[in-house]
Amino acid sequence: MCRVTRAPRVVVQVLIFALSLQPMAQAGAAPRAQTRIADGLGWPEQKLSADNGAAQYGFGRAIAIDGDTAFVAALNAPAGGAVYVFERVAGVWAQVQQLNAIDSPDGANFGFSIALAGDTAVIGADRTTLTDDGFRHQGAAYIFEKGDDGLWTQAQKLTASDFGAEAQFGNAVALSGDTALIGAYNSTINDNAYQGAAYVFTRSGTTWTETQKLVADDGAGGDDFGNAVALDGNRALIAAFYGSGAAAQTGTVYEFEISAGVWTQTGKLNADDGAFFDTFGYAIALAGDVALVTAPYAQVGDNFGQGAVYVFDLAGGGASQTQKLAASDGAASDALGASISLYGDEVLVGASSALGYAGEAYLFANVGGVWGELGALSGSDEVSGDNVGYAVALSGTTAIVGAPLQTFGGNPVQGAAYFFERPTPDEIFADGFDTSAR
């Protein structure tokens, strides 16, 4: 494939990262005032960073949570990146461990993606170089298990059986029971550069084994299939955010289901109003028959790059779009959908470029089959350029929002994470508000 076909994609990718990772002012518009703590949800927060953090660590780039345990990544920490383990005791979160891959080289991006379920975690390191023959960034993923002593240890290193140069295996990971799904969005397929693939691994006893390689039935070079993955039981979603959906290169998401041990593509999800370079599928979430797909570069009204989230019902063997979510106060270049986390009937969505690139995260809830915005979370001390919302995680009454570009302890770009806890009704109305009409 001629390299020149990648040129449009590269240009837009640079723009996307400008939206979500750089403190740039919006042309012709002053940044909105940071009023969300007063006007939004106003949940109590605990702000944390790595206990050994330093400048440029980028703590908060990826986050996962399950109950009282949370993992937060710092891609630029020494030894190829680090993931920090936090636990909640008596309502207070504290760091209890630092994880590093045993053989991770500098620049490996250990922690680029994280999936956490119970006592098992999968951590991607998509820029790991596996050979020294001139090929680079094949990528790897690491299985960590929590032992009886409460400590997490590396149990296995996963790589693709046909790993290729620049495939970046591990750029996205998902975990459900004894199945792991790992994206390799830059894989070359049948000479189609950057078409992308995803690999299924299954656990038998204590050993994980690759069991299938998944590709799109209509994939093409430059699609980046595998840029985001989601897994729930017998269903998987795999995004190709440069694939052709409602319009050329608007993005598309593929549905796979397993039967008799074999995963087969069963459908596609596309935005009903998709447009060129919306990046539909930038982030995805899946629970049962509900799928949510973000398009952070989508235009809403006259606001280019405001971003949106599309809701799909997957019941009955089809994928039906039921709703399109947008922030009630959204503005151009907010990039709503930079990250997403679904828990029960609530979803937390990052808008890392909102508030003059300070960023925030919006909480939506499903009430009676209709999704509506509950409010937004932003750090009480955030400033322009922090990129709050670049990563989010939601579990129970806890929301975690990463700010990987924040200055912490005087260290530029050390990064931080805000742990928000939903107040109880007694706490919400402790000031004596009349609740009779609420």
Can you tell me the mean pLDDT for 162-178?
93
**CA–CA separation, 389 vs 241, rounded Å?**
20
**pLDDT tens digits for 187-199?**
999 999 999 999 9
CB 349 within 8 A of CB 335: no
- The structure's pTM equals 0.89
Eight-state DSSP code of residue 359? B
Looking at the chain, the number of H-run helices and the number of E-run strands are 4, 28
**CA–CA separation, 150 vs 437, rounded Å?**
47
**CA–CA separation, 317 vs 129, rounded Å?**
40
Give the residue with greater pLDDT, 25 vs 303.
Answer: 303
CA–CA–CA angle 128, 131, 136 (5° rounding): 50
3-state secondary structure of 368: coil
Alpha-carbon torsion, ordered 27, 33, 39, 43, to 10 deg: 100
Which amino acid belongs to residue 133? Answer: D
Q: In the chain, where are the structural domains located?
A: 3-428
Can you tell me the mean pLDDT for 378-390?
96
Return the percentage of the chain with pLDDT > 70, whole number. 87
* Cα distance from N-terminal residue to C-terminal residue, the chain: 61
3-state secondary structure of 307: strand
Strands (E), 241-304: 252-259, 262-269, 284-287, 290-295
**pLDDT score, position 40:** 58
Among the listed residues 323, 420, 288, the one whose alpha carbon sits nearest the alpha carbon of residue 363 = 420
Residues paired with residue 400 on neighbouring β-strands, in sequence order: 393, 419
* Model confidence at 436: pLDDT above 80: no
Domain formed by 3-428, architecture? 7 Propeller (2.130)
**pLDDT score, position 27:** 29
Mean pLDDT, the chain, whole residue set: 88
Q: What does the block give as tokens for 231?
A: 């897994």
**Locate tokens 């508030």: which residue?**
355
* Model confidence at 327: pLDDT above 70: yes
**pLDDT tens digits for 7-62?**
223 223 323 333 333 332 232 333 333 333 324 588 999 999 999 999 999 999 99
**pLDDT score, position 256:** 98
* Model confidence at 108: pLDDT above 90: yes
**CA–CA separation, 83 vs 182, rounded Å?**
18
Query: Who's near 407: CB < 8 A, 6+ residues apart?
Result: 413, 414
Residue 379: pLDDT band (50, 70, 90) is very high
Q: Which of 98-112, 283-297, 424-438 has the lowest mean pLDDT?
A: 424-438
